[in-house]
Amino acid sequence: MRPARAVIDLAALRQNYRLALELSDARALAVIKADAYGHGAVAVASALAKEADGFAVACIEEALELRAAGIRAPILLLEGFFGVDELPLIAEHDLWTVIHADWQLQAVERATLARPLQVWLKLDSGMHRVGFFPQDYAAAYRRLLASGKVSGIVKLTHFARADEPDSPATATQIATFRAATEGLPGPTSLRNSPATLGLPQAAGDWVRPGLMLYGVSPFATPQAAAERLQPVMTLTSRVIAVRELPAGEPVGYGARFVTAGPTRVGVVALGYADGYPRHAPNGTPVAIEGRPGQLIGRVSMDMLTVDLTDHPQAGVGSEVEFWGRQVSVADLAERCDTIPYQLLCNLKRVARSYRD
């Protein structure tokens, strides 16, 4: 079998969830959209089922997959429903829904539902993606209450720049949220991962940690609470061929790397079709049998090359880590001009296994 593997450490996942609870002193919805950021939504939800206050996903398809797998905890649809035909299913499967737009509010007002809905009413406090404008929020809230179709309303907003500790934008969003929701009863939810880790002043009744659950810091610079996260996914594969080249020889597509001196090149079974970034430059860190090493040459679809010159003990069959405890996926993302979210979500074809 092809040796590319992603091992998921479920004990580390639970530790990270507990850290979110500890830091927030609130209830926490574990955000497991996009197949739990590539970690496997059903496995992640099952591992957290005993302790999680609830889960959050992007759409009803993701929620129904969890219900079908026996997950009974609350599940929030972060973008609510995309069509009115989802409303009966939302009631039937006891899902929680965001309402972020007037058409959704009207649909709830007009719906005939088997039971009232638990709604998270979204405020656009400055990100300008979805949500009611501050001046429209209280009216939307009152219409929902008056509809008789809801069992509770959580007041919700989302931060655009909480991963930038020096940005004043988040304080402005918090102030906008407090002003727009003032006097409206019910619980609140403001914090995503960066805000859970770094913004106690954004206190609320619910936090919504995503990336931090997977043990990855959302910050570009070291941050005290983020130091306590434990990486959950370790992506590895193995060396499948070794060649010794003299100086001046090209390696791989486009001859992006040319040997400067005698070089031992290791070919590893992992490529961009597995989700490893094609834009990883020469010198990108990897770990070869537990020791620091480097990528050389362009990443191809199913293979890539590493420098084994300083790893004489390594050969065919040696394990290479691409991210995990030794190689930070956040660091890799930065070198590839992307974010760890995208690298994790892009993982595919690689065999996943779980450790507890």
Of 30 and 267, nearer to ligand PLP (C-beta) is 30
Q: Which two tokens stand for residue 210?
A: 């995503």
Size of the site for ligand PLP (CB under 6 A): 11
Q: Looking only at residues 123 through 152 of this chain, which bind ligand PLP when binding is defined by CB under 6 A? A: none
How many whole angstroms from its chain centre is CA 84?
Answer: 28
The answer to the question of residue 100 lying near ligand PLP (CB under 6 A) is no
Q: Which of 100, 149, 158, 264 binds ligand PLP (CB under 6 A)?
A: 158
108, HSE (Cβ side, Cα atoms, 13 Å): 32
CA distance 88 to 273: 39
The answer to the question of residue 78 lying near ligand PLP (CB under 6 A) is yes
Who's near 50: CB < 8 A, 6+ residues apart? none
The reply to whether 122 belongs to the active site is no
The reply to whether 348 belongs to the active site is no
| Region from 9-17, 19-27, 40-48, 208-216 binding ligand PLP, contact rule CB under 6 A | 208-216
| Region from 2-10, 64-72, 204-212, 251-259 binding ligand PLP, contact rule CB under 6 A | 204-212
Q: How many CB atoms lie within 10 A of CB 24?
A: 23
Q: Which of 24, 188, 193, 234 binds ligand PLP (CB under 6 A)?
A: 193
Q: Which of 31, 45, 286, 295 binds ligand PLP (CB under 6 A)?
A: 31
CA distance 299 to 280: 7
User: Side chain identity at 200, as an amino acid letter?
Assistant: P
The answer to the question of residue 117 lying near ligand PLP (CB under 6 A) is no
| Region from 134-142, 207-215, 241-249, 253-261 binding ligand PLP, contact rule CB under 6 A | 207-215
Of 17, 33, 141, 276, catalytic: 33
Of 78 and 239, nearer to ligand PLP (C-beta) is 78
Least distance in angstroms from the C-beta of 116 to ligand PLP: 23
Q: How many CB atoms lie within 10 A of CB 12?
A: 21
Q: Which residue matches tokens 């070089």?
A: 263
Residues in the chain: 356
Least distance in angstroms from the C-beta of 232 to ligand PLP: 13
122, HSE (Cβ side, Cα atoms, 13 Å): 23
| Region from 44-52, 142-150, 210-218, 259-267 binding ligand PLP, contact rule CB under 6 A | 210-218
Least distance in angstroms from the C-beta of 212 to ligand PLP: 6
13, HSE (Cβ side, Cα atoms, 13 Å): 30
Q: Which of 38, 126, 209, 231 binds ligand PLP (CB under 6 A)?
A: 209
Backbone angles phi, psi at 9, to 5 degrees: -95, 100
Least distance in angstroms from the C-beta of 31 to ligand PLP: 4
Q: Which of 211, 251, 339, 343 binds ligand PLP (CB under 6 A)?
A: 211
Q: Is 313 exposed, middle or buried (0-12, 13-18, 19+ CB in 10 A)?
A: exposed
- Quote the DSSP letter at residue 280: P
Who's near 71: CB < 8 A, 6+ residues apart? 42, 45, 46, 49, 55
| Region from 205-213, 265-273, 324-332, 345-353 binding ligand PLP, contact rule CB under 6 A | 205-213
Q: What Å distances lie between residue 143 and 81, 97, 275, 283, CA to CA?
A: 18, 16, 45, 58
Of 17, 37, 141, 253, catalytic: 253
Q: Known catalytic residues? A: 33, 253
User: Residues interacting with ligand PLP, by CB under 6 A?
Assistant: 31, 33, 78, 158, 192-193, 208-211, 218
